[in-house]
Amino acid sequence: MSGPAASNESVPRRALFSVSRTEGLAALASELVRLGWELWATEGTGRHLQEAGVPVRPLSELTGQVSMLGGRVKTLHPRVFGGVLARPSPQDLAELEQAGGVPFDLVVVNFYPFEERLERYRSGELTLAELVESMDIGGPALARAAAKNFARVAVLTDPSQYAAVLDEIRHSPHGLPADATRVRLAAEAVRRTARYDAVIARALQQEAGPPAAAPQRVEVSFPERLALEATRWLVARYGENPHQAGAVYRVPVQGASVPWGQVLQGKELSYNNVADAAAALDLVAELSDRPAAVAIKHATPCGAAVADSLLQAYQLAHDADPVSVFGGVVAVSRPVDGMVAEAMARTFLEVIVAPSFEPEALEVLSKKPRLRLIEVGPIEPPWRRDGDGSSLEVRSIFGGLLVQQVDAVDWVDGELRTVTRQSVPERLWPDLRFAWRVVKHARSNAIVVARDGQTLGIGAGQTSRIDAARIAIEKAGEKASGAVLASDGFFPFSDVVELAAEHGIAAIVQPGGSMRDQESIAAADRAGLAMVFTGIRHFRH
Ligand SMILES: NC(=O)c1ncn([C@@H]2O[C@H](COP(=O)(O)O)[C@@H](O)[C@H]2O)c1NC=O
């Protein structure tokens, strides 16, 4: 069963261990020792291995420096980073030796559990200073360094990788994972550090308070002649219908987008898939300051939800309209893990768009080889992505192009006006904002009914607002009572408010600005309903 232990008996293979999650570690380490490897570890990791009876050398023996500043500096030392980053060239190896370092062939690292501790901070169990201490510095630095040096070093950043890599080491003539495996592990490592930093960035941003909303009116100048530079991304089997040819072109953008995403698996993307995936990404980006999930059918949302975890958000978005989601396109705001993937695999979906897919998720979803997975990298709300409001979007009509600024604005807290006697109960504000963000992405006339971070009914693409409201309220059914309602445009008559009141809607958000606003306000007051004007309209045609 065992392969060669090392390329050269006198120079053992070396591994550096520094982990927070110890599952599977002792089994990996003891097998490496059996294969003749020399193991080094940071303090806590070393203790865990020694207790399991695995011989390991403390890193301080190499650096001559014990961990300092309460653990803030452990591995950050030229002898450690030199040992990871030295290329296999005689010059690098000589330089490393002169500095007193040794080359590492394998780095096994996982990071302080920032996300878990963030939850504990939010529940008041930890202070901000304690949370800050769980921001891992050395671990991600080690992972990135090892990833950069994939030519010589393998990096394991998750226990799920141990068994397969160990197997490759056993059977490899050089006692190392294959070249392609090292590159794949490097990609996974960098994806993990990116995700880790994205979580920290979001937490810090929340600590700093809400970002300044994009200015609502930024002067943009439209050039006399418009030169469009686009590169063909794919030629689809056909366009919107089988008798139409279709293709998709890429244009340069900042931030996550479908055409610049990576298609990880699945049947070839169709023209409609790309259009729906882009609509799904647009909507989920709008909700991405929380774990969020959305489902799109024919460019229209059929379900959207935000929650404390992505799994919850996905289930809520799915359950928002379990009939329509069938054959839909789903987008989520956080990386898909194994559990979310299991839930997704229970429904027939056409496409899933996500910042990333964890290896366990890819394994689960690989059992649905036709399902298309698009990895787009970290997703940000449009008002953060398009902070200066200068991005333009282009639509073609017969004989021309329509060009406008992207609709990147969110509501501005200071400009909201409660126009009714009844004010909005504190607990309904998050739902009002959520419904407002969703209605922005539904075709006009659009009405969204929502409650507890879940859409209950979406009426979209209607030629009259009252029809949109009827559809949304009918879909919501009995759950409409106590829910909130958002409208992408103002109410020309009081009929929508009256219908909402009949079904027990508790609060309404709409732009305001109709000549007959007063009639809608009076209807809301008669029903004891709260209504808020945003002063912003979100038509989408
Ligand atoms: N500061 C450093 O130099 C450093 N180097 C590695 N770490 C992390 O410390 C943890 C392991 O430390 P220990 O073995 O002492 O329990 C790992 O999660 C690793 O990602 C560090 N911790 C924080 O940045």
Tens of pLDDT, residues 265-314: 999 999 999 999 999 999 999 999 999 999 999 999 999 999 999 999 99
Answer whether 132 contacts ligand 1 (Cβ < 6 A): no
Handedness of CA 176, 182, 184, 188 (dihedral sign): positive
Q: Does the pLDDT value for residue 159 go beyond 50?
A: yes
Please give the structure tokens belonging to residue 450: 């929502």
pLDDT in tens, 41-63: 999 999 999 999 999 999 999 98
Q: What is the pLDDT of residue 230?
A: 86
Distance 20 CA to ligand 1 centre (A): 8
Answer whether 181 contacts ligand 1 (Cβ < 6 A): no
Q: How many CB atoms lie within 10 A of CB 120?
A: 14
Residues paired with 332 in a beta bridge: 293
Answer whether 18 contacts ligand 1 (Cβ < 6 A): yes
Contacts of 381 (CB under 8 A, 6+ apart): 285, 286, 287, 288, 289, 410
Average pLDDT of the residues of the chain: 92
Residues 114 and 134 sit within 8 Å (Cβ to Cβ): yes
Residues 29 and 17 sit within 8 Å (Cβ to Cβ): yes
Answer whether 178 contacts ligand 1 (Cβ < 6 A): no
Tell me the C-alpha distance between 486 and 531, whole Å. 10
Number of H helices, E strands in the chain: 19, 21
Using CA positions, which residue lies closest to atom 21 of ligand 1? 138
Report residue 216's pLDDT band, with 50, 70 and 90 as the boundaries. Answer: low
- Which of 21, 104, 136, 144 most suits a substitution to test ligand 1, by most atoms within 8 Å of the C-beta? 136
Segment 492-505 shows an average pLDDT of 97
Higher pLDDT, residue 481 or 406: 481
Q: Does the pLDDT value for residue 5 go beyond 50?
A: no
Q: Does the pLDDT value for residue 390 go beyond 80?
A: no
pLDDT in tens, 404-431: 988 888 888 888 999 999 999 999 999 9
What ipTM, to 2 d.p.?
Answer: 0.91
Q: What is the pLDDT of residue 122?
A: 83
Q: Nearest to residue 191, comparing CAs of 341, 73, 362?
A: 362
Tell me the C-alpha distance between 400 and 407, whole Å. 21
Higher pLDDT, residue 110 or 12: 110
Q: Does the pLDDT value for residue 174 go beyond 90?
A: no
Segment 387-407 shows an average pLDDT of 87
Answer whether 20 contacts ligand 1 (Cβ < 6 A): yes
CA atoms within 13 A on the CB side of 349: 30
Distance 193 CA to ligand 1 centre (A): 14
Q: What is the pLDDT of residue 241?
A: 95
Q: What is the pLDDT of residue 224?
A: 86
Q: Does the pLDDT value for residue 6 go beyond 50?
A: no
Most confident stretch, 170-184, 208-222, 344-358: 344-358
Q: Does the pLDDT value for residue 7 go beyond 50?
A: no
Please give the structure tokens belonging to residue 375: 């990895």
Report residue 94's pLDDT band, with 50, 70 and 90 as the boundaries. Answer: very high
Q: Which residues form the catalytic set? A: 148, 298
Main-chain phi, psi angles of 357, to 5 degrees: -125, 125
Residues 280 and 330 sit within 8 Å (Cβ to Cβ): yes
Residues 111 and 140 sit within 8 Å (Cβ to Cβ): yes
- Which of 19, 40, 74 most suits a substitution to test ligand 1, by most atoms within 8 Å of the C-beta? 74
Report residue 10's pLDDT band, with 50, 70 and 90 as the boundaries. Answer: low
Q: Does the pLDDT value for residue 100 go beyond 90?
A: yes
Q: Does the pLDDT value for residue 215 go beyond 70?
A: no
Please give the structure tokens belonging to residue 23: 């599952």
- Which of 17, 18, 115 most suits a substitution to test ligand 1, by most atoms within 8 Å of the C-beta? 18
Q: Does the pLDDT value for residue 189 go beyond 90?
A: yes
What does pTM read for this prediction? Answer: 0.64
Segment 521-527 shows an average pLDDT of 97
Q: What is the pLDDT of residue 387?
A: 64
Higher pLDDT, residue 214 or 138: 138
Q: Quick one: how far is CA 98 from the chain centroid? A: 44
Answer whether 192 contacts ligand 1 (Cβ < 6 A): no
Report residue 200's pLDDT band, with 50, 70 and 90 as the boundaries. Answer: confident
